[in-house]
Amino acid sequence: MSRKRWRAVKEIRIADVARLAGVSTATVSRVLSDPEKVRKKTHDLVMEAVRRSGYIPNSTAQKLRMRRTMNVLVIAPRLTNPVFAEILRGVDDELTQSGYGIIIGNLDNRREREARYVDLALSRQVDGVLLLTGYIPENDTRNMRESGLPIVALCAAIHEDGIPNVVVQDREATRQAVEYLARLGHRRFGYISGTLSSIIEVERFAGFQEGIAAAGFTQGDFVRWEGPFVFSTGVAAAEAFLQMKDRPTAIFAACDESAIGFIKRVRAERVRVPQDVSVIGFDGIEFADYTEPTLTTFRQPLHELGRVGADVLLRLIHREMRPEDWNIRLPLTLLERETTGPVLHKDYKSLRRSAL
Amino acid sequence: MSRKRWRAVKEIRIADVARLAGVSTATVSRVLSDPEKVRKKTHDLVMEAVRRSGYIPNSTAQKLRMRRTMNVLVIAPRLTNPVFAEILRGVDDELTQSGYGIIIGNLDNRREREARYVDLALSRQVDGVLLLTGYIPENDTRNMRESGLPIVALCAAIHEDGIPNVVVQDREATRQAVEYLARLGHRRFGYISGTLSSIIEVERFAGFQEGIAAAGFTQGDFVRWEGPFVFSTGVAAAEAFLQMKDRPTAIFAACDESAIGFIKRVRAERVRVPQDVSVIGFDGIEFADYTEPTLTTFRQPLHELGRVGADVLLRLIHREMRPEDWNIRLPLTLLERETTGPVLHKDYKSLRRSAL
DNA sequence: ACACAAGATGTAATCGATTACAAAAATCGA
DNA sequence: TCGATTTTTGTAATCGATTACATCTTGTGT
C-alpha cells in the first residue's frame, strides 16, 4: 500500500520564503498584502522567491491573526428546492465577488439540524449568517442572535431587533392572487399551504385571508390543505380535492411545486385545468414554464433576493449599515400563464355530475 | 447611529475559563477534548466555568493548531441543476455526520470560475475536494491535483493517477438507451448532448455510438445537437428538429432538462410524444415524474453517489484508503414511463405529409 | 559633509487553541 | 510513614501568519 504517492507535499511557510529571499517574514508579508510599502527591488526579490517556492499563505493562520474568516454561513431549509438554489446563486454572486466563501447549512426540512449550524456559527467559523429558513425563532437560534454575530434573514421576516430582513412582499402578492382569482369569477377557493410552523406560511396565509376578506368572502368560502413545500403536498391536496363534492374552482398554492403536484394529480382524473379548476402558484421556478399547461404564478425575484441579502450582510459585517437598510421588501411579478381562467359554471357542473 | 447594539460581545478565551476555574489552559483543553484524562472533580469545576462563561472554543485557532480545517470544498457546475443539488444532499448527509463542513464552489457553468476555488483549496482552507464538475482537466486544476490534497471526482471519470472516481455507469446506460429505442423499432435517432468539453459528455456520447453500432446502425443514422445541461438546449434542439424533413423518431437527451425542453417545444407544434417521437432522458430528476407525459429516463443514484463520494473522500483524508476503493461505478435504473413507445410509421408519415 | 526627515526593514508580540514534557499530587504496598 | 509508581496538572512551545514598534537606510537641504 503505497501511501506516499498522495501524501501532502512539504508545506512552504512564510519563513521559508523569507529565508530564500534573504529578508524577514514581515517584509514578505508586506510584499504580499501591501506592495506599496516595500522598495521595488525588495519586492521583486520576494516575488521571485514566492514564485520559485510556490508559496501560498496558509489561510487558517491569516484568519486567526486577522480575526475574520472571510466565510459566511447560509442556512437553507432544503437544497433541492429550486427556490433556495436560486437564492443561493444570488448570494454566491455577491459574496464571491467580495472574496467571501460560503459554508452551507442544509436543514433538509428537519429543523433539529439547526443546532449543528448554530454551533458552527458560535465557534466563529464564519463572519456572518444568512438565514433562508422561515422558521419561527426558537431558543436554538437565540444564542446565535444574541452573540452579536451579523445575521440577515431572507425569505421570512424575523421581527426581531438587530436582524435586518430582506424579503419579498409575499403577503401583498398572496392577497393579490386571491383578488385576481375573484375577478375571474371564482367563489370557492382552495389554499395549499406550507408547513404551519414557518413564518413564510404565516405571512402568506395572512395575505390570503386579507384577500378573501377584501373580495367579500368568509372563512367558509375556502379550504386549506397543509404540508411542506414539496410536490407531494400538492398531490395530497389533490386527493382531498377529488373527494370533495363541492369542489373549489380556484386553488392558490403557496409554492410552485405543490401547484405542479396538484395539477398533475387532478389531471390524471380528467379534471381540466383551468376549465374545471384554476391554479395559481407562488415562486416562479423555471420548471413552472415547462409544465402543461404552463403555470400561472407569482415570480419571486430570487436571484436579486440573494444578492441584496448578501450585500446587506456584508455591510453589517463591515459595520457600514445604515438604519434605512434594515428592512427591504422586494416586489413580486404575476406571471399570467395557462393554469388560470374564468369560472365555467356549466362545464364544471357537468363534470361533477359525470363523476357521481 | 447606535453601533454598539450589534457589536460582537466580548469573546471568551480558554484562558478566561482557566482563570475562572482556577486551573491551567491545558486542563481546560483536556476537559473539553478528552474528559477521561482529568479527575472528576476538576472536570466538574471546569465544566461549571465553561457553562457560566458560555465559552465556545475558537475553531480557527483549533484548525491552525491541529492542522486540519474540518471543511471540504465541493465544486459544482451549477447549483440550480437538480442533479447537483441532489448529489450535494448526499454529500452533506455523509459529511455533517462526520463533523465536516461544506464550502461550496459554484461555477455557474462558467469554467473560469474554477481558478478561485483552486486558490481556496491551495490555501488550505479545506481538507479535501469533491469535484462534481465534468470538465476535462486543465492546467488550472493541475496544481490542485499535484498539491497532494485529497480529491475525489464524482460525475466524471478523471483518468488520472491519485484521483479516485465515484461515477455512474453512464456509458453503459447510454448504450442501453439506444438499444432500447432500437428494440422499439426506431431507425433514425437524435442525440441531445451536453457541453462538448465535459468528460460526462464524452462518456455518454461514446456509449451512444456503441449503442448505434451494436444495433447495426451507422453515423448517418443519427443527428447530434449540442449545448449545456439546461432546458433551453432541448428547446434549441427541438427547433432544429422541427426544421428537418426526415425527422428522427427517437431522441436521447443526455439530461432530463434538455429532454423536457425538447418535448415542451415540439408539442407546441402538435408533434405527439411518444406517437410521433419517442424521448428518453437521463438523470431521473424528481420533476421528470411531473411532466406530461411523464418522462422515460435513466435514474442516477444521485444521493448515493454523493454519500459514497464523500465517504471515499473522508477515507482519503484519514489515510485509510485501500486500492480497491479507487474506482466505484454505480448502476443506473431505466424508468420506463410515457415518452417512449414503438414507432408508428403510418402516423408519422401522415404527420410529415401534413407538415409539408 | 552633516543633520534630520522620510522610508524601508527587522524584531518580537500576538491571534487562541493543543500538547510534549516537566512537575506535582495521589495511590499503593511494605 | 516512606518511597516507588501512577495519575493529574502546569509550563511553555507550537501552529503560521500579521503588525506595532524599533532600528537601520536612504534621501534632502544647507
Determine contact, residues B214/B189, Cβ cutoff 8 Å. no
Distance from the A294 Cα atom to the nearest Cα atom in chain B, whole angstroms: 10
Evaluate if residue B30 carries a pLDDT over 80. Answer: yes
Q: Provide the pLDDT for residue A351.
A: 44
Question: Which residue in chain B is spatially nearest to A60 when comparing CA positions?
Answer: B64
Residues in Cβ contact with B282 at an 8 Å cutoff, skipping those fewer than 6 apart: B170, B173, B174, B177, B204, B252, B253, B254, B255, B256, B259, B297, B298, B300
d(CA A125, CA A121): 6
pLDDT-derived band of residue B2, with 50, 70 and 90 as boundaries?
very low
- Nearest beta carbon to residue A60 from set B124, B260, B323: B124
Residue A28 CA to nucleotide D27 C1', Å? 24
pLDDT-derived band of residue A2, with 50, 70 and 90 as boundaries?
very low
Q: Provide the pLDDT for residue A325.
A: 66
Number of neighbours of residue B39 by Cβ within 10 angstroms: 9
Q: If DSSP codes are grouped into helix, strand and coil, which group holds residue B8? A: coil
From chain A, pick out residues whose CB is under 8 angstroms from the CB of B162. 5-6
Q: Provide the pLDDT for residue A142.
A: 77
Residue B24: which nucleotide is closest by CA–C1'?
D10
d(CA B257, CA B283): 9
What is chain B's percent helix, strand, coil content, to nearest 5? 50, 15, 35
Asked if B59's CB is within 8 angstroms of A123's CB, the reply is: yes
**What percentage of chain B carries pLDDT values higher than 70?**
91
Q: Which residue has the higher pLDDT, B280 or B319?
A: B280
From chain A, pick out residues whose CB is under 8 angstroms from the CB of B100. none
Average pLDDT, chain B: 90
d(CA A353, CA B20): 79
Evaluate if residue A156 carries a pLDDT over 80. Answer: no
| Element counts in chain A: helices (H) and strands (E) | 13, 12
Alpha-carbon distances, residue A19 vs A13, A16, A36, A41, A225 (angstroms): 10, 5, 21, 16, 70
Query: What residue is closest to D13 (Cα–C1')?
Result: B65
Evaluate if residue B353 carries a pLDDT over 50. Answer: no
User: B133-168 pLDDT, tens per residue?
Assistant: 877 666 667 788 788 899 999 987 777 777 889 999
For residue A335, report the phi and psi dihedrals to the nearest 5 degrees.
-100, 105
Q: Provide the pLDDT for residue A244.
A: 97
Residue B40 CA to nucleotide C27 C1', Å? 16
Asked which of A69-73, A194-198, A276-280 is least confident by mean pLDDT, the reply is A194-198
From chain B, pick out residues whose CB is under 8 angstroms from the CB of A318. none
Q: If DSSP codes are grouped into helix, strand and coil, which group holds residue A224? A: strand
User: B239-270 pLDDT, tens per residue?
Assistant: 999 999 999 999 999 999 999 999 999 999 99
The C-alpha angle with vertex B135 and arms to B132 and B141, in degrees rounded to 5, equals: 85
User: B124-137 pLDDT, tens per residue?
Assistant: 999 999 999 877 66
**What percentage of chain A carries pLDDT values higher than 70?**
91
Q: Provide the pLDDT for residue B347.
A: 47
Mean pLDDT of the region A26-34: 96
> Of A10, A51, A79, A117, which to mutate for an interface test with B (greatest number of B Cβ within 10 Å)?
A79
Distance from the B231 Cα atom to the nearest Cα atom in chain A, whole angstroms: 9
Asked if B290's CB is within 8 angstroms of A264's CB, the reply is: yes
Assess whether B32 (CB) lies less than 7 A from strand C: yes
Evaluate if residue B5 carries a pLDDT over 50. Answer: no
Residue A107 CA to nucleotide D21 C1', Å? 49
- Report CA B354 to chain centroid distance, whole Å: 44
Number of neighbours of residue B315 by Cβ within 10 angstroms: 16
Mean pLDDT of the region A308-332: 87
Mean pLDDT of the region A121-146: 84
d(CA B51, CA B49): 5
Asked if B69's CB is within 8 angstroms of A89's CB, the reply is: no
Determine contact, residues B260/B81, Cβ cutoff 8 Å. no
User: A232-277 pLDDT, tens per residue?
Assistant: 999 999 999 999 999 999 999 999 999 999 999 999 999 999 999 9
Q: Provide the pLDDT for residue B222.
A: 97
Assess whether A26 (CB) lies less than 7 A from strand C: yes
Average pLDDT, chain A: 90
From chain A, pick out residues whose CB is under 8 angstroms from the CB of B88. 79, 104, 106
pLDDT-derived band of residue A216, with 50, 70 and 90 as boundaries?
very high
Residue B148 CA to nucleotide D23 C1', Å? 42
Q: Provide the pLDDT for residue A163.
A: 84
Look at the block and give the residue holding cell 466505484. Answer: B328
Number of neighbours of residue B36 by Cβ within 10 angstroms: 6
Q: Provide the pLDDT for residue A140.
A: 63
Query: What residue is closest to C14 (Cα–C1')?
Result: A65
Asked if B104's CB is within 8 angstroms of A286's CB, the reply is: no
Assigned C-alpha cell, B99: 463533523
Give, for B348, the enclosing helix (H) or strand (E): helix B345-355
Evaluate if residue A200 carries a pLDDT over 80. Answer: yes
Q: Which residue has the higher pLDDT, B194 or B326?
A: B194
In 3D space, the residue among B12, B19, B53 whose CA is nearest the CA of residue A123 turns out to be B12
From chain A, pick out residues whose CB is under 8 angstroms from the CB of B1. 322-323
Residues in Cβ contact with B4 at an 8 Å cutoff, skipping those fewer than 6 apart: none
pLDDT-derived band of residue A135, with 50, 70 and 90 as boundaries?
confident
Distance from the A331 Cα atom to the nearest Cα atom in chain B, whole angstroms: 22
From chain A, pick out residues whose CB is under 8 angstroms from the CB of B323. 1
Q: Provide the pLDDT for residue A120.
A: 95
pLDDT-derived band of residue B27, with 50, 70 and 90 as boundaries?
very high
Distance from the A121 Cα atom to the nearest Cα atom in chain B, whole angstroms: 10
> Of B7, B10, B79, which to mutate for an interface test with A (greatest number of A Cβ within 10 Å)?
B79
Asked if A264's CB is within 8 angstroms of B292's CB, the reply is: yes
Domains and CATH numbers, chain B: 4-57 (1.10.260.40), 69-167+302-330 (3.40.50.2300), 170-300+335-355 (3.40.50.2300)
pLDDT-derived band of residue A134, with 50, 70 and 90 as boundaries?
confident
d(CA B259, CA B234): 6
Q: Provide the pLDDT for residue A155.
A: 80
Nucleotides of D under 7 A from a protein CB: 7-12, 14-20
Distance from the A91 Cα atom to the nearest Cα atom in chain B, whole angstroms: 11
